[in-house]
Structure 1
Amino acid sequence: MSQRNVIRVSELAIAISLFEVGSTTLFFIGGEAKQDAWLAMLVGALAGLFLLLMHLSIHHQEPHLDLFLLFRRYMGKYVGTFVNLLFVGYFSYESSRNLRDFGEITVMTLLNRTSLWIIMLIVILVVSNSMRYGHIVMFRICVIFFPIMLVSYILISILIPVTGLFHFEFMLPVLESGWKPVLDAALPEIVSFPFGQTILFLVFYPHVRTGKGLNKAVITCYVITALALTFINQLNIFVLGPKIALYSTLPLLETVQLIDLAEVFERMDALFTMLLFLGLGVKMGAFFNGAIIGLEKITGIAYKKWVVPVAILIYGLAFLSPNYTHHIVIGRQLVLNYLFPVFQIVLPLLLFIIILIRKRKKRTNRSASEKT
Structure 2
Amino acid sequence: MEKAKISLYQLFVLILLFELGSAILVPLASDAKQDAWLAILFGMLGGLFLFWVNYRLFLYYPELAPPEYMQKLLGKILGTILAFCYIILFMYSASRVLRDFGEMLLTFAYLETPLFIVNALLMLVIIYAVSKGIEVVARTGELFFFFIYFLAITGFILILFSGLIDINNLKPILEQGISPIVGLVLTQTLYFPFGEAIVFSMIFPYITNRKKAKKIGLFAIGLSGINLAITMAINIGVLGVDLTVRSQFPLLSTIQSIQVADFLERLDVFFMISTVICIYFKVSIYFYAAVASTAVIFKIKEPSRLTYPMGMVILFMSVTIASSYAEHLKEGLKFVTRYLLPFFFIIFPLLLLGIAFLKNRNK
TM beyond 0.5: yes
- CA deviations on 1:133-185 (whole Å, 9 max, x unpaired) are 01111111111110111111111112112101011111111111111221122
Q: Deviations over 1:206-230 (max 9, x none)?
A: 1000343222211122212211111
Confirm or deny: 8 A CA contact 2:47 2:221 kept in the other structure: no
Distance 1:43 1:220 in 2: 15
Given residue 170 of structure 2, which amino acid in structure 1 is its aligned partner?
A: M
Identity %: 31
SS at match of 1:48: helix
Whether the 8 Å CA contact 1:22–1:282 is kept in 2: the answer is yes
Unaligned ranges ≥5, structure 1: 364-372
Summarize deviations over 1:267-292 as a string: whole Å, max 9, x none. 21110011111111110011000000
**Residues 87 and 290, structure 2, Cα contact 8 Å, conserved in 1:** yes
Aligned residues of 1:31 and 1:185 also touching (Cα < 8 A): no
For the residue of structure 2 that corresponds to 1:101, the secondary structure is helix
Match for residue 251 of structure 1?
A: 250
Measure, in 2, the Cα distance between the counterparts of 1:327 and 1:225.
24
Q: Which residue of 1 aligns with 2:310?
A: 310
Contact 1:44–1:195 (CA under 8 A) maintained in structure 2: yes
Q: Which runs of 5+ in 2 are unaligned?
A: none
Q: What residue number does 2:359 align with? A: 358
Measure how far apart 1:32 and its partner are.
1.2
Shift of 1:263: 4.5
Contact 1:67 1:203 in 2 (8 A): yes
Partner of 1:142: 141
Q: Name the structure 2 match of 1:176.
A: 175
**3-state SS of paired residue (1:177):** coil
- The C-alpha deviation readout for 1:295-323, integer Å capped at 9, x for no partner, is 10000122011111211210121122112
Which residue identity does 1:222 align to in structure 2?
A: I
1-structure distance, mates of 2:66, 2:36 = 33
Check whether the contact 1:30–1:185 (CA below 8 A) recurs between aligned residues. Answer: yes
For residue 95 of structure 2, what is the aligned residue in structure 1? 96
Please state how far the C-alpha of 1:121 moved relative to its aligned partner. Answer: 1.7
Comparing 156-165 and 213-222, the one that deviates more:
213-222
1:28–1:236: 8 Å Cα contact kept in structure 2? no
CA distance in 2, matches of 1:67, 1:45: 23
Do residues 336 (structure 1) and 342 (structure 2) align?
A: no
The 5 A counterparts of 1:1-372 are 5-301=4-300, 302-318=302-318, 319-360=320-361, 362-363=362-363
TM superposition shift of 1:188: 2.5
The CA deviation at 1:99 is 1.2
Distance 2:77 2:6 in 1: 31
SS at match of 1:71: helix
Q: Tell me if the contact between 1:128 and 1:311 (Cα under 8 Å) persists in the aligned partners.
A: yes
What is the aligned length? 361
Q: Which AA in structure 2 matches 1:356?
A: F
Read off the aligned partner of 1:98 and give its amino acid letter: V
Kindly provide the amino acid, as one letter, of the partner of residue 358 in structure 2.
I
TM-score, normalised on structure 2? 0.96
d(CA) in 1 for partners of 2:245 and 2:179?
18
CA RMSD of aligned residues (A): 1.4
Of 18-27 and 178-187, the range deviating more from structure 2: 178-187
SS at structure 1 position matched to 2:123: helix
Distance 1:153 1:172 in 2: 25
Aligned counterparts of 1:20 and 1:268: Cα–Cα separation in 2? 23
* Higher Cα radius of gyration: 1
Verify the 8 A CA contact 2:91 2:290 in the aligned structure 1: yes
Q: Is this contact kept in 2: 1:33–1:40, CA < 8 A?
A: yes
SS of alignment partner, residue 264 of structure 2: coil
Task: Report the Cα offset of residue 264 of structure 1.
Answer: 4.9
Query: SS at 2:190's partner residue?
Result: helix
CA distance in 1, matches of 2:304, 2:221: 31
* Deviation digits for residues 318-344 of structure 1 (CA, Å, limit 9, x no counterpart): 122112111111111100111112111
Which aligned runs of 4 or more in structure 1 are off by greater than 3 angstroms?
none
Query: What is the CA–CA distance in structure 1 between the aligned matches of 2:209 and 2:42, rounded to whole Å?
Result: 32
- Structure 1 distance, partners of 2:75, 2:211, is 31
